[in-house]
Amino acid sequence: MAQVQIVSDGPRYRHQIRSGTHQLSADEPFALGGQGAGFAPFDLYLASLSACTAITLRMYAEKKGWDLGEFRAELASSRDDAGKLVVHRVLHASGALSDAQWARLLDVVERTPVTLVMREGAVITSERGTD
């Protein structure tokens, strides 16, 4: 499905993430001892969900012949009283969409692939490499 590699290139917490020919930087903010040189881990988590949100809704709208215009999703995370992560999405589109079309988009967004995986969780395994 997907494959990435992360390499520590210093200083401190800055890392380079690669997927195929694409690359981005990850780091911690200054407040956590990083250099602020890239996305923080939870920023990447939200970025994954936002990308899936935008791509899925764009694909759906194109299939239906709807003009989304410029689409934007704003995502924020927080913790509830029990400490559980809560993600809130606010969707915007400059295209002239009816209330019924918006209702359908809000229904579809609840079932994007990344949304479903984040809700169900994943099995994560680890092993030592042989370098």
Beta bridge partners of 72: 92
Q: DSSP assignment, residue 91?
A: E
Beta bridge partners of 26: 15, 39
pLDDT value for 11: 76
**For residue 24, which of 11, 10, 7 has the smallest C-alpha distance?**
7
pLDDT value for 12: 86
Q: Could you tell me the residue range of the domain that residue 21 belongs to?
A: 1-39
Number of domains in the chain: 2
Q: Is residue 116 part of a domain?
A: yes
> What type of residue is 78?
S
Burial of 53 (0-12, 13-18, 19+ CB in 10 A): buried
pLDDT value for 74: 96
34 and 49 assigned to the same domain? no
Tens of pLDDT along the chain (131 residues)? Answer: 789 999 987 778 999 999 999 999 999 999 999 999 999 999 999 999 999 999 999 999 999 999 999 999 999 999 999 999 999 999 999 999 999 999 999 999 999 999 999 999 889 888 999 97
> What type of residue is 130?
T
Q: Is residue 126 part of a domain?
A: no
